[in-house]
Amino acid sequence: MSKRIYLDNAATTALDSEVFEAMRPYFSERYGNASSLHQFGQDAQQGVVLARQSVANFLGCQAQEIIFNSGATEGNNSVIKAFGFSKKLAQERGDHAQRGFSRAERGGKIHIITTAAEHECVLEAIKFLAKENYIEATFLPVSREGIVSVVEVEKAVKPSTALVAVMYANNEVGAIQPIAEIGKLLKKINQERPNKIYFHTDAAQAINYLPCDVNELGVDFLTLSAHKFYGPKGMGAMFIRQGAFFEKFFHGGEQEFKMRAGTHNTPGIVGLGEAIKKVKSLKSKVKNIGDLRNKLVDGVLKNIKDSTLNGSRDKSLPNIANFRFERAEGEAILIALDLAGIAVSTGSACASKSLEPSHVLQAMGLAALQAHSAVRFSLGRLTEEKEIDRVLEVLPGIIERLRSISGGTVNRKDKLLKDLGC
């Protein structure tokens, strides 16, 4: 098979050809600034309006609750830091406020709850705020399947809790979190307390595969990235429930209902809108992707000794399979597969240059050495059965060869390339 095989769809997806065609006129014909009053601007603005409605229809919300941005990383930072930097929230519900201090004396910290298995952009934002003494943070553990307990969320709530941030589906192992259940829990808790606890979910990996009606999920904030569902890179959106607390992250113009300044990326916005419409129309492909993933899992576990699926097979996205192979290093496997024309990942693309073991796998209870032996395969709409057959043909030999190489899991890239004949 001469064609290269792409099995890293959790990192990014190919731009859909129909999405590209929808974007094309906004580069060279309808190129006006969407904030301008003349016809060029109005033509561009119409594209923004239609795209916003498409996203709102998909999420089951109002169009004015959709804010366009550069992606989930920006959206997650915007939500988390809006809470962390808010003096108003600290005065009203910070830990000092709960201890009887006068309003003038209050300067306490709000409390944010998250999990130890979140995407780096959530974890690092919260860790930064905690380190700088803006907030108090609780990082909840996850199970061996990568799933947080709703009971643990409830136990972590304090009078100063202002935000719960839990991703919908994990980018490394595909673990699906009980978002709707957490939403129901927080709704019940909020009925019995004066200050609302807001609920945020990063749905970047979920859009293609899971129900995303924000009312059914019970979330106040939701973030997404277009390039995860065959839209353009550098384009995203966030849902902010009407009436929810939010302080804008970017200052400048009055775009996006005065909540996110900056000239509209009209081609990107149009592409996002077109891509999210196609998600709904292509839901039938989800079963096929799941069938191919199951074939991959069955084949790997059957044909490669000492291989293990990280996480749950059933409580996971249908496109992700994360394996660990004892006595073989993940980075070495990635390189060998790439040389064979197969693209995979050792985890999050946002941390791919890091030599640290996956924080997600460690949160799930794996030792550092086990986490270093992990490889993620993530399928997509374009994945074909013959590609899975090819993986199952070459992978056993790669693992066997790597295990035979002296040094095993301690080899690094420079030595591995030499050992593999490069």
Nearest one of 263, 225, 320 to 15, comparing CA atoms: 225
DSSP annotation of 94 reads: S
DSSP string, 137-187: EEEE---TTS---HHHHHHH--TTEEEEE--SB-TTT-BBP-HHHHHHHHH
Ramachandran angles phi, psi of 301, nearest 5°: -65, -30
DSSP string, 310-327: ES-SSSB-TTEEEEEETT
* Options 121, 212, 350, 422, the catalytic residue: 350
List 320's β-bridge partners, or say none. Answer: 378
Q: Radius of gyration over alpha carbons of the chain, in Å?
A: 23
350 belongs to the catalytic site: yes
Residue located via tokens 């490889």: 375
Ramachandran angles phi, psi of 390, nearest 5°: -65, -40
Ramachandran angles phi, psi of 338, nearest 5°: -65, -40
Rounded Cα distance, 407 and 210, in Å: 42
Rounded Cα distance, 335 and 343, in Å: 9
Q: How many CB atoms lie within 10 A of CB 350?
A: 14
Rounded Cα distance, 14 and 340, in Å: 21
DSSP string, 236-268: EEEEE-TT-----SS-SS-HHHHTS-S---HHH
List 309's β-bridge partners, or say none. Answer: 323
- At what angle are helices 285-303 and 385-404 packed, to 10 degrees? 30
- For the annotated catalytic residues, the residue numbers are 350
